[in-house]
Chains A and B, each alone.
Chain A
Amino acid sequence: MAVKEILLYPNPLLKEVCAAIGLWDDSVDTLLADLVATMVDAGHSVGVAAPQIGDTRRAVVVDVSKSKLGKKQENHGLLQMINPQIIEREGQVTVREGCMSVPDYTGNVLRAEHIVMQFLDQDQQLQVIKSQGFEAIAIQHELDHLDGYLFLDRVSSLKTDLFRRK
Chain B
Amino acid sequence: MNHFALTIIGRDRTGIVSEVTGILYQIGCNIADSSCSILGGQFSMILIISHPELKDQHALTQAFTPLEESGLSVYLRTLKPGGEKHPDLQGEICMISVYGADKPGIVYQVAKELGERQLNITDLNTKLIGKKDTPVYVMMIEAVLNPGIEIEDVEGWMIKLKNEMKIDISVRSITPVEL
Contact = CB atoms under 8 A, between A and B. Distances in A.
A153 B176 contact: no
Nearest to A14: B168
Contacts, number: 62
A153 B97 contact: yes
Nearest to A149: B170
A158 B130 contact: no
Interface of A: 8-10, 15, 102-105, 107, 110, 149-150, 152-159, 163-166
A156 B95 contact: yes
A95 to B, nearest CB: 15
B167 to A, nearest CB: 9
9 contacts: A9-B130, A10-B130, A102-B138, A103-B129, A105-B129, A105-B138, A153-B97, A157-B95, A158-B124
Contacts of B93: 164
A69 B94 CA distance: 31
B141 to A, nearest CB: 9
A105 B101 CA distance: 15
B138 A152 contact: yes
B140 interface: yes
Given A105-B138, A107-B140, A157-B174, A10 B100 contact: yes
A159 B125 CA distance: 11
Q: Which of B100, B125, B129 has the most CB of A within 10 A?
A: B129
Contact of A152 (B97, B123, B176): B97
Given A107-B140, A152-B138, A159-B123, A164 B176 contact: yes
Interface residues of B, number: 26
Contacts of B124: 158
B134 A8 contact: yes
Interface in B110-149: 123-125, 127, 129-131, 134, 136, 138, 140, 142
B136 A9 contact: yes
A125 B44 CA distance: 55
Interface in B143-176: 168, 170, 172, 174-176
Q: Which of A10, A104, A149, A154 has the most CB of B within 10 A?
A: A10
B99 interface: yes
Contacts of A104: 127, 129-130
Q: Which 8 A-B pairs have the closest CB atoms?
A: A153-B170, A104-B129, A158-B123, A152-B97, A10-B101, A156-B174, A105-B129, A152-B99
A155 B97 contact: yes
Contact of A9 (B35, B99, B172): B99
Contacts of B138: 102, 105, 152
A155 B129 contact: no
Contact of B178 (A10, A150, A152, A165): A165
B95 A155 contact: yes
Contacts of B125: 158
Q: Which of A15, A103, A155 has the most CB of B within 10 A?
A: A155
Q: Which of B125, B130, B131 has the most CB of A within 10 A?
A: B130
